[in-house]
């Protein structure tokens, strides 16, 4: 009898299957919503695993602590959290791990919490063969609900910041060789390493959304973050909202020193761990927000059709045949 293994099933199908064991199949977003009498809670869990997400060569423990916190806050923010209450931390560590490694890890976590809000509320620890940092983060739902299934045909697709930098930073840190014909500017190298080791989130994002909202009756918009890559973020929005994402390649914001070529487009769209927000808004609202925040760029629109992602420029669609990051 053939036995299915996770490598063949894939991460997304695994999530769909385990969702059958949940009361209301709450897996379309990264965060769970818990309704209370006063303010509703958003709860997120994210894990970083040694030799999957990090190693001792690619990142130091203090930066790893920062990144572990920011990855969770990014998910809270992409669901509309107006405040981070705090986090709990589960650590799985080999017995030979030095205390100074743990101390530096927590120092990085506290620095991120000081920057973005929240406290360490508790956690658990256990012995294992590899290091695993698993964080559960708690936030308060804001006035606007940001959900993957809230995109609508006609909405403008926007993104914060620039993608691909974290992927490049990861490759540089791991001393992966590049094509000899490619020249990487020192500024781009430095910027990419910072994006990989010390990612930032847009703490004013929700405030600016509310400030530029043209219709106060709108309470829900489509949004996710690009922790698994820009392409996967767009695909998740399209599937959850049952519409087609049309992307204008010429409008994609890139670093001025980003190299040209198909492989560099792959790094850009499939790299992951950029923690930028990918979202959709009605046209007027999108225009207002873009004028207020120059770091936010329009990159396409949603249309009626089979849930999918495609480029406005047909010649670029071959890029979408690549495989997104898979944890298995």
| pLDDT at site 178 | 83
Is residue 290 within 8 A of residue 225, CB to CB? The reply is: no
Where does residue 128 rank: exposed (0-12), middle (13-18), buried (19+ CB within 10 A)?
Answer: middle
Tell me how far apart the alpha carbons of residues 20 and 26 are, in angstroms, rounded to a whole number: 10
Give me the CATH code for the 31-141 domain, please: 3.30.1330.10
The DSSP string of 256-269 is: TTPPPSHHHHHHHH
Tell me how far apart the alpha carbons of residues 143 and 150 are, in angstroms, rounded to a whole number: 15
| pLDDT at site 130 | 95
| pLDDT at site 17 | 76
Quick one: average pLDDT of 4-24?
71
- The overall average pLDDT reported for the chain is 91
The pLDDT of residue 15 is above 70: no
Which regions of the chain carry the CATH code 3.30.1330.10?
31-141
Q: Domain 145-321 belongs to what topology?
A: Phosphoribosyl-aminoimidazole Synthetase; Chain A, domain 2 (3.90.650)
Name residue, tokens 């000899």.
180
Highest mean pLDDT among 53-57, 139-143, 315-319: 139-143
Sheet holding 81-93, edge to edge: 32-34, 41-49, 132-141, 81-93, 119-127
Higher-pLDDT residue of 293, 328: 293
Instruction: Report pLDDT digits (tens) over 104-145.
Output: 999 999 999 999 999 999 999 999 999 999 999 999 999 999
For residue 101, give both structure tokens.
Answer: 């490694």
The pLDDT of residue 328 is above 60: no
| pLDDT at site 146 | 97
Reported as a pLDDT band with limits 50, 70 and 90, residue 325 is low
Q: Are strands 81-93 and 132-141 parallel, antiparallel or unpaired?
A: antiparallel
Lowest mean pLDDT among 21-25, 165-169, 220-224: 21-25
Quick one: average pLDDT of 288-312?
95
Higher-pLDDT residue of 311, 313: 311
The pLDDT of residue 236 is above 60: yes
* pTM for the predicted model, two decimal places: 0.89
Beta strands per DSSP E along the chain? 32-34, 41-49, 81-93, 119-127, 132-141, 145-147, 156-160, 220-225, 244-247, 277-281, 296-303, 308-311
Q: DSSP state, 305? A: S
| pLDDT at site 203 | 87
The DSSP string of 37-55 is: SSS-EEEEEEEEEBTTTB-
The pLDDT of residue 28 is above 80: no
Report percent pLDDT > 70 for the chain. 93
Q: Return the HEC string of 87-102.
A: EEEEEEECCCCCHHHH
| pLDDT at site 76 | 96
For residue 321, give both structure tokens.
Answer: 């045949």
Reported as a pLDDT band with limits 50, 70 and 90, residue 245 is very high
Which regions of the chain carry the CATH code 3.90.650.10?
145-321
Lowest mean pLDDT among 50-64, 147-161, 307-321: 307-321
Tell me how far apart the alpha carbons of residues 208 and 210 are, in angstroms, rounded to a whole number: 5
The pLDDT of residue 93 is above 90: yes
Question: Shortest CA distance to 76 belongs to which of 65, 90, 66, 86?
Answer: 86
Tell me how far apart the alpha carbons of residues 30 and 26 are, in angstroms, rounded to a whole number: 9
């Amino acid at each position: 009898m053939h036995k299915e293994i996770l490598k063949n099933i894939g991460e997304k199908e695994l999530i769909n299957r385990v969702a059958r064991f949940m009361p209301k199949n709450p897996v379309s977003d990264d965060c769970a919503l818990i309704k209370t009498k006063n303010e509703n809670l958003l709860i997120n869990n994210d894990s970083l695993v040694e030799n999957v997400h990090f190693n001792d060569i690619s990142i130091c423990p203090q930066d790893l602590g920062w990144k572990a916190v920011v990855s969770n806050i990014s998910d809270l923010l992409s669901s509309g959290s107006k405040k981070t209450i705090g986090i709990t931390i589960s650590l799985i560590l080999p017995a030979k791990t030095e205390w100074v490694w743990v101390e530096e890890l927590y120092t990085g976590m506290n620095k991120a919490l000081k920057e973005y809000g929240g406290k360490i509320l508790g956690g658990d620890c256990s012995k294992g063969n590899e290091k695993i940092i698993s964080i559960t983060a708690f936030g308060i739902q804001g006035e606007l609900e940001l959900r993957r299934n809230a995109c609508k045909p006609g909405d403008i697709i926007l993104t914060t910041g620039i993608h691909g930098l974290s992927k490049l930073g990861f490759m540089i840190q791991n001393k992966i060789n590049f094509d000899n014909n490619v020249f990487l500017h020192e500024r781009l190298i430095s910027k990419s390493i910072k994006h990989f080791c010390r990612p930032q989130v847009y703490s004013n994002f929700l405030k600016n959304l509310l400030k530029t909202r043209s219709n106060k009756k709108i309470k829900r918009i489509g949004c996710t973050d690009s922790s698994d890559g820009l392409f996967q973020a767009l695909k998740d929005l399209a599937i959850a909202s049952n519409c087609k994402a049309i992307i204008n390649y010429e409008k994609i914001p890139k670093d001025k020193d980003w190299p040209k070529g198909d492989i560099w487009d792959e790094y850009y769209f499939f790299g992951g761990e950029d923690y930028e927000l990918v979202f959709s808004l009605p046209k007027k609202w999108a225009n207002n927000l873009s004028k207020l925040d120059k770091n936010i760029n329009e990159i396409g629109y949603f249309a009626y059709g089979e849930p999918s992602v495609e480029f406005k420029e047909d010649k670029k669609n071959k890029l979408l045949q690549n495989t997104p990051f898979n944890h298995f």
